[in-house]
Structure formats: structure tokens, C-alpha cells
Structure 1
Amino acid sequence: MSENITVAGVSVDTRHWIGGRRVASTSTFTDHSPIDGSALGEIARGGPAEAEAAVAAARDAFPGWAATSRAERARILHAIADGVEKRIEELAIVETTDNGALLRSHRRGVMPRVAHNFRFFADWLLGLGHEDFDTRGHTNHVSWDPAGPCVLITPWNAPLMLATWKVAPALAAGDTVVLKPAEWSPLTASLLADIAAEAGLPAGVLNVVQGYGSEIGDALTSHPDVRRISFTGSVPTARRIAGSAAANLTPLSLELGGKSPLLVFADADLDLAVDLAVEQYDNAGQVCLAATRLLVEEPVAEEFTRRFVEKATALRQGDPREESTDIGPNIHPRQLEKIDGFVRRALAQGARAVIGGHRNEGQYYAPTLLTDVAQDAEIVQEEVFGPVLTLQTFTGEDEAVRLANDTRFGLAATVATGDRERAERVTARLVAGTVWVNCFFVRDLQAPFGGSRQSGVGREGGTWSFDFYCDLKNTVTAPKGWNQDHG
């Protein structure tokens, strides 16, 4: 296989990165661009042998990295951030070509956030601590000790940003990493390996292996030398990973799917509420946090729908590399078929497509709004992960909360209301890891992030990330027993 491919003028190595060097595999898989379906290149397809080599490299590198001072770890993480910032344009165009998200978003928001992930956790590490406290004259001292090799499995919808959301705190904590990117969007993870090496990260501290979950993922998650597993993706895959990890009691962090609601009360600013609703089509609906269930109070439902349709039909769908495009393609033909299947079944069961409800040419699905849907319908209960929203109406807070909480998920929720007291009452009753009031997708890395119910296990962000990636230790010291001759 060719060791490098050229994507939009950028050279990308298609081999694994293990122990500080590039490693080929005997087999490959083809990576396609969702923009036009073209083949981007053949990617090294790892299996148990590559998994074993990557975990061994991480295990061997762990003692040295764990012993590295906090200040030096932070310095290297800042150097990685510098490298990302120097290559923002390259990273942006490669990721847009690979996963179809908007180039303008990658340039202005996503790739700068990648650099910020490293800077934030580098700085948080330097301030990480807990005040000593006294127990009957004894001193308690809490410390965060590096845990060991970590396996990080990341999704295809925001490949590099979500990968570094895990990689940065793991490295800051003193752990070593085996990163497995999604097979539908592997390219920027390979570039990250180059950037980390150029920044001076020691060999074996970050390893990147590519391939299918059934071939290399299972070998990674069941490995007895792995001390932490973090996964972002679907509930069925999470169950499989949890089963693999169970034999070794390997701690898990799982950020899974969602079926989040947007509650629009009659006292809300309707223009704001409509803007929030249309924003849910971002990244062609391929956002786990997306509020795909629009719940609108009956007195304003007709007017809300009219304004929504006006704004949503003005969105431009097309080539994500063009500045004027609002919605790009969906990631893969299989995902497109899944989205269309959800919609076709909903329509057959009596739902009405106010807008959309069909494929467009290529891997593009029309922004869709479905009404006349029952609460127990598949389209209301299951995550579609495409540009498909449903609209239901409610009367009063009790019904709004009941509908909002009536799924197996609990990742996020959004509330639009002009009444502060109502916002406080409603948000207190919602089952969700994150609730936004009159806003959406405002995220701070120091805040806890994760889901309730089947939307996930655990929280990451700020100290919560270090709590996961470290072994917490409490050292209790008695006031007596010291040999005075030795001070």
C-alpha cells in the first residue's frame, strides 16, 4: 500500500502510529469522501497484532511519562496546541473532505477548539489539587496519580475535536494513549500523531491505530494492560465495549446517543426559539447533543411552525467547502440509508413531512420536519443522527416535562422561555446532563459533560476528567512517629 495520500493538497500518512514510528498492515480499507463519494485512499487496517503492539508501546512508555513533571507535561501539551494552530487550514480541509462537515466551521470554530483542548487541560493540570484537611490531628492529602495506558475510541461526526477532548486530559494526567478513530473519518488523527511527535511527545505516549471495531476495537478494549477506556458513540457499541472491559474491571467513560428536546413556551422570544430550532440541523444533524424533538406550547405552535419553515427552507445544502453552504452531506451511504429508513417508516405510520422527508442527490438528505407523530413512535424515541426533527405540542409545564423526559436518553435539553422562574422550575425537573436556557451549544471545558440514563456513564471536563484518567489517592499522615534525628 502507498504510505501517503494527498487530500486537498495535504499529505496524510495512512499507516498506524505505534511506539513513535509508522507501522503498516497487511490489509487496508478504503476511505471515501462523503462530499462526492470519491475514494481518498487505502488506510492501514489493524487487527489484534496492531492492538497488542500499540498497548505494549503505551505500557512501556507509561513509567517515563507518568514520572514527567506536571510543568513539562503542560509545556508539551502547549507545544501540541501550537502545532495545531500552525496547521489549522490543513486540518480543516482534510477533515471537511473526510467527514463532510462545513469548512467554514472547521476553520473558525472546530480546529481552534482542538488547540484549546490541549491548552485548557495543560493549564488545569498545573492548578489541580485539593486542600489538605485534618482528622483528629492527622493530615489528609489527596493526589491524582496517573492510571496507565488508556484506549480512546472516537466517533466520526467531529473526529479531531472529540478525539482531543479525550487525548488532552489523558496526556495531561500522565497516562499514555492508544487512540482508535472511526473508520469513516480517520485522517486527522494521523495528522495529530505527526503534530504530537513534532511537539516533542515521547515515543509510545500517543499511539494511533486504524481499523474496524470488530477487528481491532475488541482486542483493545479487552486487553488486560489497559487501565481506562473512553468511548463516544452508539449504545449498542457501548454495550459491547462494556462487556469486553468487564473481565478486567477496566473503568469506562461512555458518551452515547441522545434524543434531546427543545421546549418552547408561549412566553419565549419566538425568533430566538426558531433560531435555536433551525440550529439543530448543524453538521447535517450529526450531533449527539442536537435537540431533535421540538416541543412547542399550543398557543404559539402555528406561528412557530410558520417562522421555522421560512427560516429552514432558506438553508443552502451543498458542497461543505463553499462558504455559502449551511448543510453538507451525511457521512456514509449506510448512514444515509438509516436516516431515510427512519423517515419512510414514520411517514408510513402517519407522520407528515412539513419540509423535506426525502434524499437529495448524492449523500445529502433534505432538512426534514415531521409532525403528527405519537410519543411512542420510533421517530420520537430513537436517535436518527441526521437532519430530521419532529414537532409536538403541549399544554403547560407538566406535560412539557413529561414529554421531554419520556425517552431512554438523557444527554441534553434546551428550554426557550421568557420567564426566569419557569426556567428554574422546568430545568430542575429535566433529566439531562446539560440544559441550555435560551441558548444552545455553549460549552466550557471546566463544566461537567456527560449523559444520564442510556446517554452515558460518567462526566468529563475540568477536574472530572482528571478524576477519570487518574487513580485518586488519599494519604493520611500521623502527627507522631517521626525520627527526630532525621528531621
Structure 2
Amino acid sequence: MSEHTITVAGVAVDTRHWIGGERVASAQTFPDVSPIDGSTIGEISRGTGMEAAAAVAAAKAAFPAWAATSRAERARILHAIADGVEKRIEELSIVETTDNGALLRSHRRGVMPRVAHNFRFFADWLLKLEHEDFETRGHTNHVSWDPAGPSVLITPWNAPLMLATWKVAPALAAGNTVILKPAEWTPLTASLLADIAAEAGLPAGVLNVVQGYGSEIGDALTSHPDVRRISFTGSVPTAKRIAESAAANLTPLSLELGGKSPLLVFADADLDLAVDLAVEQYDNAGQVCLAATRFLVEESVAEEFTRRFVEKAGQLTQGDPRGEATDIGPNIHPLQLEKIDGFVQRAVAAGARAVIGGHRKDGQYYAPTLLTAVAQDSEIVQEEIFGPVLTLQTFATEDEAVRLANDTRFGLAATLATGAPERAERVTAQLVAGTVWTNCFFVRDLQAPFGGSRHSGVGREGGTWSFDFYCDVKNTVTSPNGWNNHG
């Protein structure tokens, strides 16, 4: 076994970058620490501008041949990558759980199968991607999608491989080459993806994986003049820095950022359903950008809703995410835990009441928390926490519910619980959000547009929207005249 290989729960993972079809080590490393117990999993190659330049050069060199590869062949390779993922679901699951602390059972049953589906969906969508030709004064218009070029994809730590492949799959399907930069807190499954892609026959340089800190390698990637697309999922402050870097080259951006999404519960809702939706917001220890962290409940049912919520939330099991019965695992990093607790303690000092939780537990675990008596303009209501912390406010009228729901700088998602279809139609039409769920939560289809409004993001991806972003969309207009009729 190489000195650059670590073993994670029996799975070998290479800690070097993957550039131009080869493993490349850096002079320096950074520690990768498991949130489960705080142990160091391994030392990871720490990239700088040098590795960034090498990865972009490799992607640029590989681009012409990959862009010229037929749609059918690209789709075949993407399906082969999906096959490789499915063969290694157990390995990918245990490595990612060790790396980011999310539930092992969720990885096995949902997340890693979704990784494979990401590749299959975009491979199949590529083969049916078309726009019907149309006529203009006898001239024919033909729309096509031309590969844009090397694409930098910067991904978060809360669902590392699933969110990475949500970007990688359409970028590759579109004919682009890719430089993937995973979050430094969770780099391991991206390294395994490089192995799987190579085994599936993806040509060298088409997918490159580089690791390191944003300030050291991320800036070098996003400011590179040969990069043609940048897709980022993460925080608003980081997105602003990326946009500044990209501005000099006018590099198109897709940004999926934070959220402070509401759950609106009306008096006519099925309260048991509403409570189930509410408790679901503790998924992944609250580290879900789409989570409805602000409960807005009609006054007449607020007391009963709260009682049922507290009872159901009390049935959750928090602990080691590798346990089959565990519902909530640890938070990702000590810095994130400090941030979460800081929000809660400042809110309580300002008058908020912790109905449940409100405190740390041993290690990197934070007790599931619900805060009431919070002001609309308070930090706890306005800012993304990214932990198992929810707030509850009440409203008297439908108009007030909509006003409170829209009264943040974010607009990623919203969830609505009501028994009246007419109300659902009225309210959803007024909500500022990229996705709205009515009497359900987290139902996602890859053919649907995904993205946020306001500070929750720029652009939409999914289905044809992904190809619109990763390609240069071209319209070719042909005159019926001028042919020389030479046959």
C-alpha cells in the first residue's frame, strides 16, 4: 500500500490529487478529522496555485477530444460510472459517514443510490436533449448545446458526494471537462470517485480532483482565465469572493447558497403531518440547506402543534451515526459547533426560550433545539445556523404568514402545511423561494429546476437547465436559398 493511502473502515483511499489521469502529491498536507469522535482519519494533500494550474491545464488539454466525443459514448461512460458507484455503495457509505458524520443507513439506502442516479439521469437526458426546429420567414432555426470548456466545481461538506455528482454528471454529459474541488472537511469520497471514473473508462484529464483550502487553491481555480464555468454550493461570503474572482474573466457562475426557509402551518392542516414535516428538519443534524428552520404556525393551533412536536422530537435517538437506530449524528466540526452554540446562547440572552435543547452534548453533538419568543428581526430568525436549531413564531392571518415567510434575505425553499387547495395556491404564488413543498418535504426530481432567489443563489440547474448552464447554447439560422444544388 502506498504511503499516500489511508484505510477508512477497511476501505483504501488515496490522499493525493487526481490530475490528468495521475495521482499527484503536494509538498504539504492538512488533517482530515472525523466528527464522530474527533480522530484524525489521515493527512490529505494540500493543493496550492501550482496544483490548480496543473488541473486546469489537464482539463483544457482533454477538452477538445471529450467535447467531440459522441453523445452516445459520453452517455455510455456515465452509465459505467454509475455502475461503479453501485458496486461500491457500501464502501462509499462507510467512508462518507466517517468523514462527515451523516447517518450510515441514509448513505446506504438513499444518498449513494442517488449518486449513481445522478449519472444515469444526465446520461439519459443528454440523449434526448433537443429543441424543435422552428421557422422565421421561411428560414430554419436550429438550437444546439455546445460544450463550454473546463469547469470548476466547488462542493460542500454536508452531502459531499451526492452534491458533487449533481454537478459533475451534467458537466461531463455536456461535454465539459471538470476540476472538482471538494470541501476540505470532507475530501475522501471525491478521491474514490476519481478511481471509479478512471475504471469506467473516462479519459485522462476529463475529471480532475484537487484538495485544499479555498484561500490557497480555490481562489487560483476561480480566477483562472481558462476556466469557462464555475459552479459553487456553500456560504454567501464565499460566493461573493468567488464572484469577485470570476468577474475579471466574466466566467459564468451557478451559485447555490444558504437558506432560512419557512414551514408555514395553517389551522386547517393535518397537524400530525405538519409535525412529521417539522421533526424532519433535524435531518443530518440540521446541516441541510433546504431545511425549513423557521416554523410559522397559526395562533389557534400553535400550542397543540408545539406539544405534539416536543413529544415526537423527544423520540429521536442521537448518537453514533453508524448505528442503525440513530436519527441524529454529530455536527461536522468544532468550529461549526461553536457557531451553532453561539447563535443559541445569544438568542437566549436576548429573551428566546428553549422549549427543547439549547445546549451542547458530549463531543461534536448538539441537542435538537426549538426556540420560541424570538423577534422577526433577531439574528436567530434572520441568519442561517446550519445545525439542529429551529425557531417557532405564530401568525394570525394568511397575509401575515406570507409576510413573515418572505422577510429574510434568503429565498431557497419553503414548506407549506394546509388542508385547503385554494389557500395552497394563493400562498405558494406569493412565496419567494426556488422550491416550494406543499404537505411534503424534500421531494426532489432531477428534471426540475433547482436554485435559490435573493441571497440563496444565482441560476438554476437540473434537467435542461443544467445543460443551458454548462453549454454555450447556439441558434443556427439557415436560409432556403443559396444552395448550389451540386447534390
**Class of the TM-score when normalised by the shorter of the 2 chains:** over 0.9
Cα offset for 1:484? 1.2
Cα offset for 1:94? 0.2
Q: Distance in 2 between matches of 1:169 and 1:484?
A: 40
Q: Distance in 1 between matches of 2:206 and 2:165?
A: 14
Q: Distance in 2 between matches of 1:435 and 1:323?
A: 31
Structure 1 residue aligned with 2:316: 315
Structure 2 residue aligned with 1:416: 417
Q: Distance in 2 between matches of 1:313 and 1:163?
A: 34
Q: Distance in 2 between matches of 1:380 and 1:198?
A: 47
Alignment of 1:139-154 (within 5 A): 139-154=140-155
Structure 2 residue aligned with 1:438: 439
Q: Deviations over 1:444-487 (max 9, x none)?
A: 000000000000000000000000000000000010101112x2
Q: Deviations over 1:126-160 (max 9, x none)?
A: 00000110011110000000000000000000000
Structure 1 residue aligned with 2:102: 101
- Find out whether 1:359 has 2:360 as its counterpart: yes
Q: Distance in 2 between matches of 1:370 and 1:134?
A: 59
Residue ranges of structure 2 left out of the alignment (5+ in a row): none
Q: Deviations over 1:200-248 (max 9, x none)?
A: 0000000000000000000000000000000000000000000000000
Cα offset for 1:174? 0.1
Alignment of 1:1-400 (within 5 A): 2-400=3-401
Cα offset for 1:400? 0.2
SS, match of residue 443 in structure 1: coil
Aligned residues: 486
What is the identity, as a one-letter code, of the residue corresponding to 1:76?
A: I
Q: Distance in 2 between matches of 1:239 and 1:20?
A: 32
Q: Deviations over 1:11-49 (max 9, x none)?
A: 000000000000000000000000000000000000000
Cα offset for 1:2? 2.8
Cα offset for 1:396? 1.3
Q: Distance in 2 between matches of 1:242 and 1:11?
A: 36
Cα offset for 1:313? 1.2
- Find out whether 1:478 has 2:479 as its counterpart: yes
What is the aligned-residue RMSD (CA, Å)?
Answer: 0.5
Q: Distance in 2 between matches of 1:275 and 1:4?
A: 43
What is the identity, as a one-letter code, of the residue corresponding to 2:127?
A: L
What is the identity, as a one-letter code, of the residue corresponding to 1:428?
A: A
- Worse-matched range after superposition: 346-355 or 1-10: 1-10
SS, match of residue 109 in structure 2: helix
SS, match of residue 403 in structure 2: helix
Q: Deviations over 1:270-313 (max 9, x none)?
A: 00000000000000000000000000000000000000000001
Q: Distance in 2 between matches of 1:300 and 1:2?
A: 61
Q: Distance in 2 between matches of 1:74 and 1:479?
A: 34
Q: Distance in 1 between matches of 2:41 and 2:430?
A: 47
Q: Distance in 2 between matches of 1:202 and 1:73?
A: 11
Structure 2 residue aligned with 1:404: 405
Stretches of 4+ aligned residues off by more than 2 angstroms: none
Q: Distance in 2 between matches of 1:32 and 1:144?
A: 42
Q: Distance in 1 between matches of 2:427 and 2:319?
A: 38
What is the identity, as a one-letter code, of the residue corresponding to 1:388?
A: V
Q: Distance in 2 between matches of 1:274 and 1:180?
A: 38
Q: Distance in 1 between matches of 2:55 and 2:261?
A: 37
Residue ranges of structure 1 left out of the alignment (5+ in a row): none
Q: Deviations over 1:401-450 (max 9, x none)?
A: 00000000000000000000000000000000000000000000000000
SS, match of residue 416 in structure 2: strand
Cα offset for 1:314? 1.2
SS, match of residue 480 in structure 1: coil
What is the identity, as a one-letter code, of the residue corresponding to 2:144?
A: S
Q: Distance in 1 between matches of 2:444 and 2:264?
A: 19
